[in-house]
Amino acid sequence: MLNNPYKIPRSDVDVQGLTDKLFFYYTTTTADTDAINTDVAARDRAIAELADDPTKVYKPMLNPGAVVPFGQNPDATLARLDAEIAKVPKTIKDHVWRLQCVGTASLLFMEYKVHYPLLEHHDLYMKVLDGAGARAAAFFREYGVRMGFNTTPPTRSTPRRRRANPSNAGGSGSNPMTTPPSRNPALLGSRLSDREIEAYLDNPSKLFSMEFKYLDSEDSGLWELHSHLTTREGMEYLINMDGCDGTIPLDGGALQVLLKDSIVTRSA
């Protein structure tokens, strides 16, 4: 990049501070997502009301440059967003609003506080991502216990969930989540590269034909993508994981971390 107005000296990089902030945004997103999904009707009403409220200026979007154009200082906008995020939500609408603010703030932070400033410090950039990823993985495990997910290792008699896709529609329910021979042996038992993960996140439907094993798991760790949808807060992914009841919601950052910490056990 010929002109990077956000680059900083290596000595000014606060790896711990950046990691803490990313992790905070992740956990806040998870809490608000859980809260708004306890009452779907109230959630949908809140989304519609906020969309029509001219005072709520931080509409969900996936382009940080639409909020703070490249070259401008994001600090004032991030400060206003963090002030909103710091307010304790009392209603579903409060949670929806905070989730919108967190989504915008995390995009701006990643773009203007991590990505561009650390372009010339790749090792520090990876420390930030790996640090946030490790803490997210630990949080993911603790979250499952706290939410009452079944963490008992599955046995042969344990029914496994089927992926909800057209090939299963109308099925008899006899298609368990097993690990048949991979049709792409080159990927079997391997981790995806960062470039491959980015490509799958750009086209997540390709993940429907794959199964993974999460390495940092006390049970089988097998998981697969159940579905994905575009919401006003951005993309949301639902996964099935062996030993857990129901689907688990993830945002893009959490899915990226999960993919990095998993190996491929089935690939079309």
Is pLDDT of 35 > 80? yes
Measure CA 201 to chain center.
10
Is pLDDT of 223 > 70? yes
Which amino acid type is present at position 66?
A
pLDDT at 227: 83
More confident residue, 212 or 59: 212
Is pLDDT of 32 > 80? yes
Structure confidence by residue, pLDDT tens digits, 167-222: 333 333 333 333 333 334 445 567 888 888 888 888 888 888 888 888 776 566 78
| Calpha distance 263→221 (Å, rounded) | 10
pLDDT at 210: 86
pLDDT at 231: 67
| Calpha distance 157→144 (Å, rounded) | 22
Buried b (16+ CB within 10 A) or exposed e, 11-24: eebeeeebbebbbb
Structure confidence by residue, pLDDT tens digits, 80-134: 999 999 999 999 999 999 988 998 898 899 889 998 999 889 899 888 888 887 8
Sheet with strand 222-231: strands edge to edge: 248-251, 234-241, 222-231, 211-214, 262-266
Mean pLDDT, the chain, as a whole number?
Answer: 77
